[in-house]
């Protein structure tokens, strides 16, 4: 083959390719959409946004207003409810202060208990605290009673009450009691007794079961007195029914109780002694007589139900109101801090019980 010879189909191929290329359609370009708002559109958009903002603000303010009104209504309801409730009551002993007392004073006072379980140790130290009934005008001048002995004494601090009761007893029974010789007279047969006198009585009459052992007699305290009748024929008898009835009905008005009526023998250790009267103070005597309590029962009631850490015993005698409560003596100490009311709330007295505590009697301020 001649080197200069060229293929004859080549140009046709190129033309075909060109023709094919030219015969295909041209590709379309994608147009980008562009937002071109005019002036009126922008103003409308801004107005819409302002309206939405105002609507949201209005909704927020309305919601806050509803919450505020609801809270105020609840507060007013709560305040109204609180105003309808009574004010809080302060404790009965809210303002009480302390009055320290020696623990030896447990054995001193008008409510001391002396019986077969509780000895009294201060008997022979009381003579300076006694007054002889023979020194009273009711004995010396007016003749309201006679005495078994001229040295018969009683506690000085109760002499006025005893004297008044004896005079009232005689005046209330003019048909049976007189004030002159030749008439039946009121007889005070016993008052204070020392240990020696009690020992003699016990040895002479211990079989009768009426005389307490030495140190176990209330006569050691000076708060007890025996009342009988000395007849015109010089014999001695117990109070007669009219006289006894008057005493039982009125003795509490002077601070005395009928100590042994026989019904509480198991507690007192003493049989019926219709002649034996004991001073305990007007409020206590009144409460005990009205509730048929002997001294043992009364003190037990105060210890168990009306101690200072609980509630006081509250009652009235006439128009006078009283609070009574028990305070135990502080163990292993020489002093007991006794809570008492301030002067603005009333006056008070403190008595030992001759066991292990103190009784506070408050006369409430009117």
Torsion of CA 129, 135, 137, 140, to 10 degrees: 150
How much is the pLDDT for 35?
53
How much is the pLDDT for 10?
45
Q: Where in the chain is the domain with CATH 3.30.200.180?
A: 94-111+283-366
Task: Tell which wins on pLDDT, 348 or 51.
Answer: 348
pLDDT tens readout for residues 219-252: 999 999 999 999 999 999 999 999 999 999 999 9
The three-state secondary structure class of 112 is: coil
How much is the pLDDT for 9?
45
Q: Checking DSSP bridges between strand 145-147 and strand 185-190, what pairing results, if any?
A: parallel
How much is the pLDDT for 29?
55
Q: Is the pLDDT of residue 314 over 50?
A: yes
Task: Tell which wins on pLDDT, 21 or 124.
Answer: 124
Question: What whole-number distance in Å separates Cα of residue 15 and Cα of residue 117?
Answer: 150
Q: Is the pLDDT of residue 114 over 50?
A: yes
| E strands in 93-169 | 97-102, 130-132, 145-147, 153-155
Q: Which CATH architecture group holds 94-111+283-366?
A: 2-Layer Sandwich (3.30)
Question: What whole-number distance in Å separates Cα of residue 290 and Cα of residue 263?
Answer: 15
Q: Where in the chain is the domain with CATH 3.30.1380.10?
A: 118-279
pLDDT tens readout for residues 37-67: 667 777 777 777 778 777 777 776 667 767 7
pLDDT tens readout for residues 265-302: 999 999 899 999 999 999 999 999 999 999 999 999 99
In the annotation, is 203 catalytic? no
How much is the pLDDT for 77?
52
Catalytic residue among 248, 253, 273, 296: 273
Mean per-residue pLDDT, 328-335 = 96
The three-state secondary structure class of 68 is: helix
Q: Is the pLDDT of residue 12 over 90?
A: no
The three-state secondary structure class of 31 is: coil
Q: Is the pLDDT of residue 330 over 70?
A: yes
The whole-model pTM stands at 0.76
**CATH topology for 118-279?**
Muramoyl-pentapeptide Carboxypeptidase; domain 2 (3.30.1380)
């Amino acid at each position: 083959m001649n080197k200069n010879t060229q293929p004859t189909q080549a140009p046709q191929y190129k033309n075909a390719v060109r023709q094919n290329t030219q015969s295909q359609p041209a590709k379309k370009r994608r147009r980008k959409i562009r937002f071109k708002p005019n002036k009126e559109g922008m103003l409308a958009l801004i107005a819409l946004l302002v309206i939405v903002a105002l609507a949201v603000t209005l909704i927020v303010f309305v919601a806050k207003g509803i919450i505020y009104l609801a809270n105020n209504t609840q507060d007013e309801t709560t305040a109204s409810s609180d105003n309808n409730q009574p004010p809080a009551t302060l404790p009965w002993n809210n303002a009480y202060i302390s009055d320290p007392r020696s623990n030896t004073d447990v054995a001193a006072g008008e409510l001391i208990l002396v019986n077969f379980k509780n000895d009294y140790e201060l008997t022979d130290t009381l003579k300076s605290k006694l007054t002889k009934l023979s020194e009273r005008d009711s004995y010396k001048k007016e003749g309201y009673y006679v005495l078994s002995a001229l040295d018969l004494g009683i506690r000085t601090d109760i002499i006025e009450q005893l004297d008044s009761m004896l005079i009232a007893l005689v005046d209330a029974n003019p048909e049976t009691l007189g004030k002159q010789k030749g008439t039946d007279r009121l007889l005070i047969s016993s008052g204070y007794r020392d240990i020696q006198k009690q020992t003699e009585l016990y040895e002479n009459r211990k079989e009768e079961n009426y005389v307490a052992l030495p140190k176990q007699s209330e006569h050691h305290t000076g708060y007890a007195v025996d009342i009988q009748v000395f007849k015109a024929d010089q014999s001695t008898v117990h109070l007669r029914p009219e006289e006894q009835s008057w005493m039982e009905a009125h003795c509490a008005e002077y601070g005395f109780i009928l100590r042994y009526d026989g019904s509480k023998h198991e507690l007192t250790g003493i049989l019926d002694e219709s002649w034996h009267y004991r001073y305990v103070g007007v409020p206590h005597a009144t409460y005990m007589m009205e509730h048929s309590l002997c001294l043992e029962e009364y003190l037990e009631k105060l210890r168990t139900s009306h101690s200072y850490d609980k509630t006081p015993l509250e009652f009235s005698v006439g128009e006078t109101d009283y609070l009574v409560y028990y305070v135990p003596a502080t163990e292993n100490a020489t002093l007991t801090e006794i809570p008492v009311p301030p002067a603005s709330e009333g006056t008070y007295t403190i008595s030992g019980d001759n066991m292990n505590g103190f009784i506070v009697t408050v006369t409430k301020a009117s």
